[in-house]
Structure 1
Amino acid sequence: MLAVGALIWVSLRPLLRLVLCAGFGFLITKADIFPVVAARGAGQVALNITGPCLMFSKIIPSFSTDNIGTLGPLFLVGCIYEIMGILLAWTVKQFFWVPHRFRYGILAAGGWGNYGDIPTSVVMSITAGPPFNSSTDGSLAVAYVSAFILVFYVTLFPMGGSRLIAQDWVGPDVEDEDVREATRRRRHAIFKTWLWLPRCLLHRVQGLRTIEEKEDPSELEKQAPEHTPEKSELAPEAETVVEDSNRSVSELRDDTSQVFSRATTDVVMSPITSAAPTVVHGDAATDHGDHQDSSLSKTVRFSEHPSKSPSTKSQHRRHRMKKGIREFMSQLCSPPSMSIIISFVISLINPVKALFIHVPGTYMPNAPDGQPPLAFIMDTCTFVGAASVPLGLICLGSALARLKVPMTVSAWKAMPMGAIGAFSVAKIIISPILGVAICQGLTHAGVINKDDKVLRFVCLFFSCLPTATTQVYITQVYSPTGDAEHVSALLVPQYILLVFFMTILTAYSLNLLF
């Protein structure tokens, strides 16, 4: 086990490299050397070329039929972290007000973290030296990271996670004051429920104890007639029922029309009802009888329209299903996803794998240089993939430099500071605590191999990741104005807390494993 000072330095050193590399992108962006067009081009290169090459060059040597079973725990932990992040964001949303146009974006910010640049950089650096095996654990760690990246891409794009962000712009605008008031009422109701529930349980327990303390059952029989109401007490209600049953049909018709008129008036004058023209018409002030007749006539005319035939409905459902499958497959065929999937397939088929690297026990004629026939592809992917992490971190720093953060006190007061602070604490502090508990529980249950230190470290590390900067670009695409100010304000405190608490998590994980 490493000493405390060495443990802290091993945990802090990769983060310092990360900050410096991202700082270069931040500085050249602020100096107008790295314009938006260049940043987008570099991002596309990192996403579609260098990143897939890095995954290809690391997965094929690292995975085989012996350790392919680790993909199950990796996919499981990745899905658990996404669900846990969404639940944490939903909890924050219940207690702190969130702008109406960010009501679903905060859920996406909780579910999908930065699964690309940050973990690849830090995990590669830590597993490339002591206390890990520097010769094999570095490539194995990146291969494990690729499983999380695959979960990220599949759930965010093909499975429709990005549609949460699109839902923010569905429906009319709602003022911030109305959202604050609704959140205040909801918070008051939650606290009231929490206070009422223990009191209700206490009364229930006291009632059960009172019944158990009564030793003579005959006392209950003696007290029963005293609490039974006399016949004369029920006589007025019985008389009322008899009188109601003797009403004439004309009286019931008059009462029904009066009730319907009062209900129509309540609907029109209710402050909760929407004031849209489809609800309140221009003839709302006319006689209620005419309103009733017009409503009935509209109902009759609506019922006269023929409904869609079952065949038409089935065809429409089939068309939507085909469209959804086509969109799923098109998004699944993106370069990052396809490179990971193809790499996993190649790593499991030894004759195909032997075309790229030497596989013990599998014969494959070599090229003139003594290497496998397709070893030049592996060399190219290794060479190009080496630029993935630095280029990605530079793009990350550039993205942080372009965030539109409020610069005045009044602008910050208009932001949901409670939600921003609570969400940052939940994402960077509470999530790692829960992640450690989950990973330890899965380890004791035998789901995660206790002896695979790299697997356990990667699973622990992914519990402390900030919101993905990809959400900034997705929000700008769906936003009618092209702004993503709420996402920007949410990212800044997370990246500030990241350096300190990720160091703590890394040091604790290494101390736990070794």
Structure 2
Amino acid sequence: MSSAGNAGQIIYKAFTPTLKMALCILSGFVTTKAGMLSPSATKGISLITMNLCLPCLIFGSMVSAFTPQNIAAFGPLVLVAVMYEILGLLCAWVVREIAWVPKDFRWGILVMGVVSNWGNLPTAVVQTMAKEAPFDPAVDVDLGVAYIAIFVLVMNTTFFGLGFHKLCAWDFTDDHAAEDMLPFKQRWRARFERLQRLLGRRKQPRTADAEIAIADEAADEAADHVSATLEVPLERVDYRPAAESIATSVTRVGTQRGDAESKRTKPRKRSFTSRMEATPRILATAPLDSQATTAAESVQLTSDKGYTSGSVYTRGYGAEPVAATAAGAPRRARKWAAALLKEIKNTPPPTWAVAVGLPCSLVSPLKALLTDVPGWTGSRMPNAPDGNPPLHFILETAIFLGAIAVPMALVLLGVSFARLTVPSRWRDLPLTAITLMTLAKMVLIPVFSVFVVQAMQKNTGLFPPEDKIRTFVAILLSGTPAAANQLVITQIYNPAGTAHTLASFLLLQYSLMFIFSTALAAIALYIVAS
């Protein structure tokens, strides 16, 4: 067959799963617009899908596919997943520095760079493409889903386990509302001057006139820059208070060295650790569709007690009051136990599925209870009367329930798009930031992954050529859009219950997904087939 025929086959194979995803998303969009799915109904469906069906899919795939021989893929895939998260964070930071980002998304854009949709979208592609050559349908379908579960584990650990989702709340706190409002040039000039003063290389301006002069200059340059390049109506954005705040803070750092006040550390509200501690945690089981979530429900979804719906966004970051107890401070062991219990309660079910699936996949006696294991089944582990392993019905049930996870998650994604609201005027959107962020997640990171994975395949044993599905998954998951869970978390943390800016970013990414994902899948298929 000619090379053109091979290229046509590859493109068609890559386009088919993308079309299947598009139809599922479209069905959710249409049924919602037609009024056939109420918010309460979709909320219940999302909870069932996330907390029951998806864990069953992960568990069934891992037990069926993982063996002591191919578990070696766990380390390389974790390495690649972390690498994608770090690269996404750097890209988001660069976009925030060089382009205008609304003040309700200056921290959320960093979250978007890190977390990606590593669940339903790539699973749908793998389940379709792994059924045909050059893959082995008998093994690679389940193995591909199991490999994707490793990425899901890394994403959940970062987003929920490490508390990265809390950054979504920082866009709505009073002490962050005016941060980073100056354009690129003024921000970095202030930072450079502060660095110089900290290093003792520049004399401190000591008069109030000098502080006002710096503030006025920064404000004027900010207004000129925004008016000339960003085309943002100046009457809607007041840059002078931000300029005064930043210029004043820059001027006062390191002054009055002989004064005891200048020797104090930064206020607690400026500490990253204290911000994370003061921001309430959202349960990892938050529904995918939260449009109907009320303020009271938002409080119930937080795991930290003692917060009201208003305190989520406006509370100070000062010292927390400590309740006095008769026994004094609790012992360290009790603190660790309480912290461990808290983390266990907030661990999402998909992560539990991975934690349970790994030993059941690798420990022969446990695996022999569920599925056939050479040397154990029928001999050291007697079969049930039906000729199957004793607990084979558990594995069958998990696979049966897991089969509906991916299509229902795609339908719910269409439901979320049907209920999104974005600004009606194009000039109100941060078009430059939206475009750059989309190109970073859908083009830049995938191109980087193609070269890196191919280099690992040739120079290391991390991606052996015979394990085609491992290489395919590693490349495919580099170009997925941002995670839809961020939409839920942002709506919960926002007092208004909306996420309009985030929605505008998501809409472009998911709209172009059908083009970029098809191209990336075709490239990955070509690499593993060659």
Deviations, residues 141-176 of structure 1 (Å, cap 9, x unaligned) = 011111111111111101111122122223346569
Pairs within 5 Å for 1:490-501? 490-501=505-516
Deviation digits for residues 65-106 of structure 1, max 9, x if unmatched?
111111001111111111111111111111101112211100
Query: Do structure 1's residue 129 and structure 2's residue 132 form an aligned pair?
Result: yes
Q: Secondary structure at the match of 1:406?
A: coil
Query: Judging changes above 3 Å, is the alpha-carbon distance between structure 1 residues 379 and 100 closer, same or farther for their aligned structure 2 residues?
Result: same
Structure 2: tracts of 5 or more residues without a match: 192-203, 216-240, 249-255, 263-323
2:426 paired residue among 395, 404, 412 = 412
8 A contact 1:114–1:466 mirrored in 2: yes
Contact 2:140-2:469 at 8 Å conserved across structures: yes
User: Is 1:327 matched up with 2:342?
Assistant: yes
**Residues of 2 paired with 1:263 and 1:189: CA distance?**
16
Residue aligning to 2:56: 53
Out of 424, 440, 443, the position equivalent to 2:457 is: 443
Aligned counterparts of 2:212 and 2:444: Cα–Cα separation in 1: 47
Q: Which amino acid aligns with 1:44?
A: L
Query: Cα distance, 1:266 vs. partner?
Result: 4.8
Structure 1 position 185, deviation (Å): 3.5
Alignment partners' CA distance in 2, 1:506 and 1:380? 31
What residue is the counterpart of 1:21 in the other structure?
Answer: 24
Pairs within 5 Å for 1:294-373:
324-332=339-347, 334-362=348-376, 363-373=380-390
Residue 157 of structure 1 aligns to a residue in which SS?
Answer: helix
- Once the 2 structures are TM-superposed, how far is the Cα of residue 470 of structure 1 from its aligned partner? 0.7
Give the distance between the partners of 1:339 and 1:186, measured in 2 at CA. Answer: 45
Corresponding residue of 1:377: 394
* 1:182-236 Cα distance to aligned partner (Å, 9 max, x none): 235358999xxxxxxxxxxxxxxxxxxxxxxxxxxxxxxxxxxxxxxxxxxxxxx
Alpha-carbon distance between aligned partners in 2 of 1:76 and 1:297, rounded to the nearest angstrom: 47
Q: Which residue of 2 aligns with 1:41?
A: 44
* Equivalent residue number for residue 286 of structure 2: none
Shift of 1:499: 0.8
Q: Contact (CA 8 Å) 1:93, 1:419: kept in 2 or not?
A: yes
The one-letter amino acid paired with 2:353 is S
Q: Give, in whole Å, the separation in 1 of the partners of 2:346 and 2:166.
A: 13
Give the whole-Å Cα distance in 2 for the aligned partners of 1:3 and 1:269: 68
Higher Cα Rg, which structure: 1
> What is the alpha-carbon distance in structure 1 between the residues aligned to residue 74 and residue 123 of structure 2?
17
Q: Which AA in structure 1 matches 2:495?
A: P
Taking only aligned residues, the RMSD between alpha carbons, in angstroms, comes to: 3.2
- Check if 1:75 corresponds to 2:75: no
Amino acid at match of 1:46: T
Distance 1:104 1:358, change over 3 A: same
1:3 matched to 2:6:
yes
Residue 168 in structure 1 maps to residue 171 in structure 2: yes
Q: Aligned partners of 2:140 and 2:88: how far apart in 1? A: 28
Change over 3 Å in CA distance of 1:269–1:353 after alignment to 2: same
> What corresponds to 1:397 in structure 2?
414
Conservation of the 8 A alpha-carbon contact between 1:57 and 1:381: yes
Contact 1:365 1:373 in 2 (8 A): yes
Shift of 1:431: 1.4
Partners of 1:406 and 1:493 lie apart in 2 by 14
- Other structure's SS at 2:36 match: coil
Identity of aligned residues (%): 35
Map 1:64-463 to 2 at 5 A: 64-172=67-175, 174=177, 179=181, 181-183=182-184, 185-186=186-187, 263=206, 265-266=208-209, 272=215, 324-332=339-347, 334-362=348-376, 363-407=380-424, 411-446=425-460, 447-463=462-478
- Alignment CA distance shift 1:100-1:8 (3 Å): same
Change (3 A) 1:378 1:483: same
After TM superposition, give the deviation of residue 435 of structure 1 in Å.
Answer: 1.2
Secondary structure at the aligned position of 2:478 is classed as coil
Distance 2:21 2:455 in 1: 31
Is the Cα–Cα contact under 8 Å of residues 75 and 148 in structure 1 kept in the other structure? Answer: yes
Residue from 473, 492, 508 that aligns with 2:523: 508
After TM superposition, give the deviation of residue 379 of structure 1 in Å: 1.2
Aligned AA (1:494)? Q
Deviation at 1:317, TM superposition (A): 11
| Maintained 8 Å contact 1:158/1:327 | no
User: What is residue 488 of structure 1 aligned with on the other side?
Assistant: 503
Q: Secondary structure, in 3 states, of the residue corresponding to 1:355?
A: helix
Q: Provide TM-score, normalisation by structure 2.
A: 0.71
3-state SS of 1:371 partner: coil
Using a 3 Å threshold, how does the CA distance of structure 1 residues 125 and 189 change in structure 2: closer, same or farther?
A: farther
Stretches of structure 1 lacking an aligned partner (at least 5 in a row): 191-259, 280-291, 300-311
User: 1:20-77, CA deviations, whole angstroms, 9 ceiling, x for partnerless residues?
Assistant: 0111101011111111111111111110111111111110011111111110011111
In 1, Cα distance between equivalents of 2:511 and 2:207 = 57
**Aligned pair in 2 of structure 1 residues 320, 93: CA closer, same or farther (>3 Å)?**
farther
Farther off after superposition, 13-22 or 492-501: 492-501
| 1:174–1:374 Cα change, 3 Å | closer
Q: Determine the C-alpha separation between the residues in 2 that align with 1:406 and 1:119.
A: 30
Matched, 1:473 2:488: yes
**Residue type at the aligned position of 1:445:** N
User: Counterparts of 1:51 and 1:339 in 2: how far apart (Å)?
Assistant: 9
Q: Which deviations, in whole Å up to 9, do the C-alpha atoms of 1:336-365 show, x marking residues without a partner?
A: 111111011111110111111111011211
TM-score normalised by structure 1 residue count: 0.74
Which has the bigger relative contact order, CA under 8 A and spacing at least 6? 1
Question: Contact 2:170–2:176 at 8 Å: present in 1 too?
Answer: no
Shift of 1:448: 2.1
Change (3 A) 1:322 1:373: closer
- Distance between the aligned counterparts of 2:414 and 2:38, measured in 1? 13
Bigger mean CA offset, 345-354 vs 440-449: 440-449
Measure the CA separation in 1 of the matches of 2:166 and 2:335.
16
Letter in 1 for 2:141: G
What is the distance in 2 between the residues matched to 1:263 and 1:175?
A: 25
Distance 1:327 1:183, change over 3 A: farther
Q: How many residues align?
A: 411
